[in-house]
Every structure is written in structure tokens, then in C-alpha cells.
Structure 1
């Protein structure tokens, strides 16, 4: 089995190892299908917006190879409109590489990103973190 968490879950002495069915209801069908497809084909074929959800699922199941594949897709799909939500998810998952990539994108497009609805929806602690990081990078020069 390619996933350590699943191997431990199904072969160990967990409640799940005695059940004939597992319900995964925190992720969309498309994302979970892509997750299972990766197990069998070692391929990831998703749009960037779904790749972020797959990245979170791979993070949960500690599948770093899948996370890396998702990172490639997400990086290609960062836009001014979705940068804030991707930054928020990166902070939530403590995904430093993704956080830094999106932060650099935001620095290059600061005015546009800060004026998006997505940025306005960020929690105060994430906004504070973002602006502190921006200040450390010299974004607010005299």
C-alpha cells in the first residue's frame, strides 16, 4: 500500500480495519476520485482549483509525493482572484513552500490582490500575518 496512513489504518488495530466500508465526506467526488486514481496510476490530472483540495487531502494522509504533484498544478493556476484563498489554505495547512510561492505572487500584484473579494474574506490573523511578512520584505517603503 502506497499510503502509510491507510496501511496502518487497515492492517493495524484501528476501528476502520474491522469495517467493510469507509465514508469520506469532507471532499468532493472529483477530488477523491483523483486521489484514488493517483494510487493506481501515479498521475494527477485536475484543474488548479481542485488541486488545492487534493493537496489538502494528500496533506491529511501524509502523501508528500501527491502533495508535490498538486503544488505544480496549483502554482500554474495562481491568479489575482484566487491568490488570497490559496494563501489562506497554505497558512491553514502550514504548507510553507506554497505559502511562499503565493506570497511572492501577491507581492508582485499587491494592489490587485488586496482589492479582491477573496482578500477581503481573509481572517484578521491571516491578514496580519500577510502584512507583517510583506513589511519584512520591504513592501511599505517611504
Structure 2
């Protein structure tokens, strides 16, 4: 089965939540297996860590390999790019993000989430 336009995925923002260890994850599940477990209950999970820091190719490869074949990740764009006054000022951060080996997710790379800070208002000049 291949992905196509219009596919709907059900997911959450992240997978490492202490409270889930009491309610969602089976008792005794090692923390390192939480993504593996969650990815078999959902069809998509957001990688929030990319918002805060650049991730290694090894991380992206590990996440890709721990998830089922038709699973996808949404990936949050880095905050450093989103807090700039203009898109031109964000160029370096955006380039660093796309050169961070995010491509290692392969077919599991889904949408990129551009979460602007709540203080940012729409400005057509930004783009």
C-alpha cells in the first residue's frame, strides 16, 4: 500500500510523556520502546525535538526504523527560523534544518509543521 493525496493520519505531538506511562503505555514498557509501541496505535506522530535543536542522522534513522511501514512523522520546523522578522533572515536556520538529515526519515517524512509564536501576527512582507 502506498501513500496518496488525501490520506488521513491520526497522531499526536510527541511520544515521551511521563503521564502516559501510567495510562497509555503497558506497565513495565522500557522508555526506549515507547515510540515503537505508540506508532502501532497511531498512524502519525509529531517530532517536537526538531523545534528545539538539530537532530542527528542517527536519530532520524532510529525513529524511521522503529516505526511500521506506512507510518509518517510530522516534523516541527526549528524555532530559530520561526522567530525571525523576515523569511530572508530565517534562510540560514531553514537551510540548516533541511540539511540536518531529516531526509533520513525517507517515506516516513510527512508534513513540516511551521508553528509560529503566538506573538507573531500575519505579515505578508515576511514571505
TM-score (norm 1): 0.28
Bigger relative contact order, structure 1 or 2, given CA contacts below 8 A and separation 6+? 2
Higher helix share: 1
TM-score (norm 2): 0.31
The structure having more radius of gyration, on CA atoms, is 1
Higher strand share: 2
